[in-house]
Amino acid sequence: MSHDTRQADPVALGAQPVSAATAETLEDYTLRFAPRSYRRWSPAVVAVSALGGIAYLADFAIGATIGIAYGTTSALLGILLAAVVIFVSGFPLAYYAARYNIDLDLITRGSGFGYYGSVLTNVIFATFTFIFFALEGSIMAQGLQIGLGIPLWIGYAVSTIIVIPLVIFGMKALSTLQVWTTPLWLVLMVIPFVYLVAANPDSVGSFFAYAGEDGTGTGASTASVLLAAGVCLSLMAQIAEQIDYLRFMPPRTEANRRQWWTAVVMAGPGWVIFGALKQAVGLFLAVYLIASLDPQAAATADEPVHQFLGVYEEMMPAWLAMALAVVLVVISQIKINVTNAYSGSLAWTNSFTRVTKHYPGRIVFVVVNLAIALALMEANMFDFLNTILGFYANCAMAWVVTVATDIVVNKGILKISPSGAEFRRGMLYPVNPVGFVSVLLSAGLSIVVFFGGLGPVLQPYSPVVAIVLAVVCPPILAVATRGKYYLRRTDDGLDAPMFDADGNPSGEVFRCHVCRQDFERPDVAACATHDDVVCSLCLSTDKVGDHVLPAAAPVR
């Protein structure tokens, strides 16, 4: 296939005009491969930007909530167990994103789900973004109420609207925001913990002796550890938000190899190390408030704004303590909720475009995602936080572990799943039962267990059910189907190599004859009816399938 640049009428060729879509997606590559011409950030800048997205205070609330419910020992063991599972499952996903420069949805398509099958997991991820946006927005509203006297319902609206201007401008604005606000956020977050340990060493002993609200958590039990871990595992889908940054990693070369790997590990699965520490600190602060201050503090000890305000007031005048607590809350919530809003808009837009073959613009789904989050906030989701997060964890684990298993086992060990990261329409089957069925089975059965459908004895084991099925099902289904449904065809009609000499996606440029824009090699394919090249978004929006390559002989 030659670099044919003949001009063609996109309407006549069966695809909707995509000039508006192209203009927006070229800013942050919403639905496509991120080209090396755009990826000008160093590995360190990408890593700091990604880690800035975990500045949320929900970890403090989660740690306090499970600690108050199950006691310190069980909570800490649950936090550790969840961290290990999240790190192990997140590593192959982070590597694939950084190596192939695509987001988790595009990875999911070629890792056992198919072109349309990954819409299911997109809905799971989009749900994660608005649940945690609502949780973080609630925390910000609590800070505004305490510090400025703003009613909660107005605070919910303010915390929602304030992020919209920042999200509109995509990765460029987000990276600048995260890099410049991270130092101040770290100082404000770390000081209270260091002060308590230094000024009140007895608080450490009280922390480890805390038995929970019912006084029965002095020792660890399997059930309480698993219940605590289940709540923490709701954060497993955070790896998808980390990947929304990691896809902009520069090509890996001999010169930057060490820096590249350090950034991928620390900003990818490594986010959970910082998350687990924040959960433990949140529990520590809650126990201190309950044991050392007002016994009534248990009612608000799981709210981060009260945790930090209580410690700040011991360190400095009340007016300054209040000011710093509000500043910390506002910075934290803006840092994470721009990421939640951004990633959620990508997930909804991706699904909508594939199903309807129409690109409405990412900003439409920024508003949709934030509207859902605002409704959750107004419903006071804090009152049933454990139930929401515990239920959601089963869906998140089913998805992330299934994709990780396909990459490690089906691609790496069994060699049934193709080793590359294919995502283009026409190259994939609509649905691949390997991943699609695995998620339905693991999520479905674990949710039944979570709500006591198989009895109270098994109820705490829903995370185990979700993980085990997500590990076992993909290899079994891949062998049973003999890998038939991974690739609809192996040849995309172009002779140019997909990768360069270092194994990175090629930077060779082709012009799409539909939208008349230039795209790099991994983002294009041959047109089925014209001796020309078409980009992945024009393939996605091709309503009559005029550009989509026909199926080839089954690949086994």
- On average, the pLDDT of the chain sits at 82
Q: Which of 31-35, 48-52, 517-521, 541-545 has the lowest mean pLDDT?
A: 48-52
Question: What is the residue type of 84?
Answer: V
Alpha carbon distances (Å) from 472 to 35, 336, 364, 398, 403: 35, 34, 39, 11, 12
Q: Which of 47-56, 227-236, 469-478 has the lowest mean pLDDT?
A: 47-56
Alpha carbon distances (Å) from 118 to 346, 403, 432: 13, 10, 9
Where is pLDDT greater, at 353 or 385?
353
Average pLDDT over residues 443-459: 89
Predicted local confidence at residue 218, as pLDDT: 57
Of 267, 262, 272, nearest to 81 by C-alpha is 272
Predicted local confidence at residue 82, as pLDDT: 93
Average pLDDT over residues 124-142: 82
Predicted local confidence at residue 556, as pLDDT: 46
Average pLDDT over residues 229-237: 85
Average pLDDT over residues 76-88: 94
Predicted local confidence at residue 12, as pLDDT: 35
Domains annotated for the chain, with CATH where assigned, are: 38-392 (1.10.4160.10)
Under 8 Å CB-to-CB from 229, ≥6 apart: which residues? 77, 78, 79, 81, 82, 85, 463
Q: Under DSSP, is residue 91 helix (H, G, I), strand (E, B) or coil?
A: helix
Alpha carbon distances (Å) from 353 to 129, 237, 349: 19, 22, 6
> Sorting pLDDT into bands at 50, 70 and 90, what band is 296?
low
Interatomic CA distance for residues 267 and 342, integer angstroms: 17
Alpha carbon distances (Å) from 485 to 121, 430, 433, 517: 18, 9, 7, 32
User: What does residue 434 show for φ and ψ, rounded to 5 degrees?
Assistant: -60, -55
Q: Under DSSP, is residue 526 helix (H, G, I), strand (E, B) or coil?
A: strand
Helix axis angle, 222-232 to 385-405, nearest 10° = 80
Half-sphere CA count of 265, side-chain side, radius 13 A: 7
The pLDDT of residue 262 is above 90: yes
User: What does residue 249 show for φ and ψ, rounded to 5 degrees?
Assistant: -65, 145
Average pLDDT over residues 265-291: 88
Q: What is the pLDDT of residues 164-209, one digit of tens each?
A: 776 666 555 555 666 666 677 778 778 887 888 888 787 777 788 8
Predicted local confidence at residue 217, as pLDDT: 52
> Sorting pLDDT into bands at 50, 70 and 90, what band is 290?
confident
The pLDDT of residue 10 is above 50: no
pTM confidence score: 0.82
Q: What is the pLDDT of residues 374-410, one digit of tens each?
A: 888 877 766 666 677 778 888 889 999 999 999 999 9
Interatomic CA distance for residues 89 and 72, integer angstroms: 26
The pLDDT of residue 20 is above 60: no
Where is pLDDT greater, at 361 or 215?
361
The percentage of residues in the chain with a pLDDT greater than 70, rounded to a whole number, is: 86
The pLDDT of residue 285 is above 50: yes
